[in-house]
Amino acid sequence: MGKQRIFSGIQATGSLHLGNYLGAIRNWVKMQVEYDNYFCVVDLHTITVPQDPQILRANIREVAGFLFAAGIAEENSVVFIQSHVKAHSELAWLLNCITPMGWLQRMIQFKEKSEKQKEDVSVGLYNYPVLQAADILLYDTNLVPVGEDQKQHVELCRDIAQRFNYRYGEIFVLPDVYIPPIGGRVMGLSNPDKKMSKSEEKKDEAIFLLDSPEEIRLKIQRATTDSLREICFDDKRSGINNLLTIYQLLTEKTREQIEEHFVGKSYKDLKEELAEVIIGSLHPIQERYREITEEKGYLDKMLNRGAERAGDYAERKLQMILKHIGLR
């Protein structure tokens, strides 16, 4: 039996944060040896909201560079840019034609994002999950490792695949979602009741993967906690719970070991230690990222090879789909 296949994607919005790393990228790195993997910088998803062309171009490279810096390796994984493989857009159209509008109206992310943009909302943002389904289904994906916020999109992808198979025959593999038992939803630092995300208004909300040690210390020092004293995991105390969870994810200690370690210590002690743990964990990735971006031509070479490998697979699959629909 061959290896099972993983597909996952990440937007090119720039400034990846600790949520992206702990909820997704780090698991991709850990799982990659056991699976056959495709990791995609989804630039076509990124343009569903307005982007400055020059900044977008730089962000696409930054995110791709980070995947390699974090430890995604060519021996195990294909890393590529979505718009370099045309079959993604083409399959998205074919899937659009069988996806009921009502299914998309239920998508939580669309509701949240469209509320912010009001009447400027694009059709692309609305059928964003159909393009995501195309990404996954083109590669006969078995498993999609993502953070919790993507669960609904992967479930929709399964529904679309099932509907397609019912109409045209067994063409698509039904993918399962993988959400890490811990870290599937890393919360914001200043507002720990919301997931960590890039926010224009609140710069302290997220730790970015390129943050300097000083920035990390300051952000953690300012993170919202509560007026209690005891340092323990407790869902009802979202601030302290989030800090401890990040600590747990990065040190890989058990909850008991961590609680015991902090007996008699203050929030200040926890924050100081946590900041150093984060700095220590990000340091090697930041170093490698600098090496990658300084080596002329390296990233282009890797991404060209990735697009070729992904393109071969996707094009073959697409031809087969076109035949089943009656377009060839």
Q: Among all residues, which ones are annotated catalytic?
A: 113, 195, 198
136 forms part of the interface with ligand TYM (CB under 6 A)? yes
Six-digit token string for 36? 């056959």
In contact, 164 and 171? CB cutoff 8 Å: yes
Task: Name the minimum Å distance from CB 296 to ligand TYM.
Answer: 28
Largest CA distance in the chain: 71
Q: Which of 6, 41, 69, 146 binds ligand TYM (CB under 6 A)?
A: 146
Counting contacts by CB under 6 A, is residue 132 touching ligand TYM? Answer: yes
Q: Rule CB under 6 A: is residue 272 a binding residue for ligand TYM? A: no
Residue 252 tokens, joined = 């890989």
Strand partners, 17: 208
Q: Which residues contact 66 (CB under 8 A, 6 or more apart)?
A: 16, 25, 209, 285, 289
Please compute Rg for the chain using Cα positions.
21
Helices vs strands, H then E, count in the chain = 15, 5
For residue 60, the minimal CB distance to ligand TYM (Å) is 12
The nearer residue to ligand TYM, 32 or 262, going by C-beta atoms, is: 32
Residue of 67, 91, 144, 209 that binds ligand TYM (CB under 6 A): 144
Q: Which residue is nearest to ligand TYM (CB)?
A: 23
Question: Nearest approach, Cβ of 103 to ligand TYM (angstroms)?
Answer: 16
Closest separation in Å from C-beta 102 to ligand TYM: 20
Stretch that binds ligand TYM, among 16-24, 114-122, 241-249, 286-294 (CB under 6 A): 16-24
Question: Which is nearer to ligand TYM, 8 or 99 (by Cβ)?
Answer: 8
Considering only 67-75, 147-155, 166-174, 311-319, which stretch makes contact with ligand TYM by CB under 6 A?
147-155
DSSP 79-138: EEEGGGSTHHHHHHHHHHTTS-HHHHHT-HHHHHHHHHHGGG--HHHHTHHHHHHHHHHT
- Residue 32 Cβ vs ligand TYM, minimum distance, rounded to whole Å: 15
Residue 229, classified by CB atoms within 10 Å of its CB into exposed (0-12), middle (13-18) or buried (19+), is exposed
Residue 23 binds ligand TYM (CB under 6 A): yes
Scan for tokens 């593999």, then name that residue: 173
Spatial contact of 41 and 12, defined as CB atoms under 8 Å apart: yes
Tokens of 133: 């389904």
Per-position x/- string for 159-198, each x denoting binding to ligand TYM as judged by CB under 6 A, each - no binding:
-------------------------xxx--------xxx-
Q: Per-residue x/- marks for ligand TYM, 26-45, CB under 6 A?
A: ----------------x--x
- Which residues sit at the interface with ligand TYM, rule CB under 6 A? 7-11, 19-20, 23-24, 42, 45, 132, 135-136, 144, 146-147, 149-150, 153, 184-186, 195-197
